[in-house]
Structure 1
Amino acid sequence: MNRVDDGSPLADLLDERRALVALAHRMLGSADDAESAVDECYRRWYAMSDPERERVPVPAAWLVGSVEGICEDRLAVPGFERLTDSVPDLPVVTRPPATEPATLRRHDAVVHAVRRACLAADQDLLLPLLAPDATAWFDGGGKIRTLVAPVHGRDRVARGLLRLLDRRPHTTLTPHSVNGPTGLVVRHEGRVVAVLSLEVSGAEAVRVWVVVNPDKLRSWNAGPRP
């Protein structure tokens, strides 16, 4: 499947953003202006349609060129000011109640089983834990190059999760309360970089929400977490 279908590993996406911010910082000399330039770059990326993005042969090269162009445009304006327009967030998804709510014990069992399958990077273990019509949402807030549209179907959800959570050194995946029920928290070098919440029906996850938007993860990194 193509990259629009399966996405990219989270560690690669984090490295990508850090590299772009470093490039913009070198050009503009300001951390705030660098973040603003990179946000504008991603805004332009998401302003394109899926077919337009898919025609970009090397997204990383496109992003570098875009950041360089944005920085050069700003440097060409005497006394330029940092943009104040915020990057629009992805639409908020309202979670409908499951038709067959799982008991707390069953919910936790499914979440822990999903964690084991993801740690093992084993699609055969993960597939039976997902409902055939499972749906996943990946919220990057326009600041991380995640999948834009919801992913539907057991196979595509499994591929998307395993692709995003492709493990790297110094990365952990641990169970943790997420707005009440048990979810999964991804840490990279000690910082929370993703939070997953699952809606379970019976013995299957029917909906998965993956938040990688740095703005929404600030509270997770604001103080000590277990």
Structure 2
Amino acid sequence: MGTAGTSTDGIAGERRHLINVAYRLLGSVTEAEDAVQDAFARWYGLPRGRQEEILSPGAWLTTVTGRICLDLLRSARARRERYVGAWLPEPLPDRTEWDHAGSANPTGPADPADQIVLDESVTMAFLVVLESMTPAERVAFVLHDVFRYPFTEIADVLGRTPAACKQLAASARRRVSVARAPVTATGQAGVVKHVKEAWEAKDIAALVGLLDPAAVMTADGGGKVGTVLRPVEGGARIAQYMVAMADKAPGLELLERSVNGVPGLVAQRAGVVMTVASFDVCDGRVTRIWAVRNPEKLRPWHDMAG
């Protein structure tokens, strides 16, 4: 679980793991970084004698980070009720896709987003399902099913019995099994490519053919940029909306880029990322689109465009 000992190097080495845990718990790179920094601050605030009593600093840090995230999740519910429009998780770029342009800075400070492992547990579809869980369900599920922590340790985070934690994870698992669809990156890349081409051509008929009739598009502008405040439902309505957006944004460039490890699209203008779009694809058609436009949530993308 953790790295035994209290050496500075050993403790610092836990940071990547904790960022991965916190991002999956919170859906926010910024909040994950803050939570981990808070956990480290609490560690370094312990008397030396207390630090030496802790057999596994990594386990201690994970427990503290989990508790901090749990508190944030509870308070986030109230904050998101005041959020303008729909709230979506912060999308993650794959820096390797941008390095060839020379825009990434390999000698600069490490971005927390670069430390997050891009796998199925961070796809937008998966994170959106996590948002439907109670804070306790989310913590129990992520720590057990994603990171394989035993329920005896999760009990320390949640302040509940191991049996209660097991029930929470089981409840969360049922939500995931209903909502989760297998991700096939190869097939999705082809569909996303066709969506890009049809969008660039402003071809409504082609877009309608690529969208499931019951497709839903959710956009997150956070009240900071213009976007729809409610989900757009139906393939035909989404296609019309996409073309209308293209008409209002001359000079917009669409790029095929991975979003949270899955093929997606990035819209940029004059080298500035304006929108990051994630897709859920089933049977060759787009069933869900998540468009993040809130500039505060696009921070990890800003230094890569251009």
Shorter-chain TM band: 0.5 to 0.7
Cα separation, 1, equivalents of 2:184 and 2:301 = 26
TM-score (norm 1): 0.56
> Partner residue of 2:260?
179
The answer on 1:197 being equivalent to 2:192 is no
Cα separation, 1, equivalents of 2:284 and 2:183 = 8
> Partner residue of 1:88?
83
Aligned pair partner of 1:127 in 199, 205, 208: 208
Q: How does 1:36-185 map to 2 (within 5 A)?
A: 88-92=83-87, 94-95=128-129, 96-98=179-181, 101-166=182-247, 168-185=249-266
Identity %: 35
Cα separation, 2, equivalents of 1:160 and 1:139 = 15
> Partner residue of 2:304?
224
CA displacement at 1:102 relative to structure 2: 5.0
CA distances 1:99-134 after superposition (whole Å, capped 9, x unpaired) = xx3522111000000000000000011111000100
CA displacement at 1:166 relative to structure 2: 2.8
Give the counterpart letter for 2:217 in structure 1. A
Cα separation, 1, equivalents of 2:261 and 2:246 = 23
Q: Which of the pair has more CA radius of gyration?
A: 2
Unaligned runs of 5+ in 1: 1-84
CA displacement at 1:167 relative to structure 2: 6.6
Q: Please, what is the CA RMSD of the aligned residues?
A: 2.3
Cα separation, 1, equivalents of 2:83 and 2:213 = 32
**Paired residue secondary structure (2:295):** coil
CA displacement at 1:91 relative to structure 2: 4.0
Pick the structure with more strand per residue. Answer: 1
Larger relative contact order (C-alpha < 8 A, sep ≥ 6)?
Answer: 1
Give the counterpart letter for 1:174 in structure 2. L
> Partner residue of 1:32?
none
Unaligned runs of 5+ in 2: 1-78, 89-127, 130-178
Cα separation, 1, equivalents of 2:208 and 2:224 = 29
Change (3 A) 1:206 1:159: same
Give the counterpart letter for 2:226 in structure 1. R
Change (3 A) 1:225 1:203: same
> Partner residue of 1:22?
none
TM-score (norm 2): 0.42
Cα separation, 1, equivalents of 2:191 and 2:279 = 9
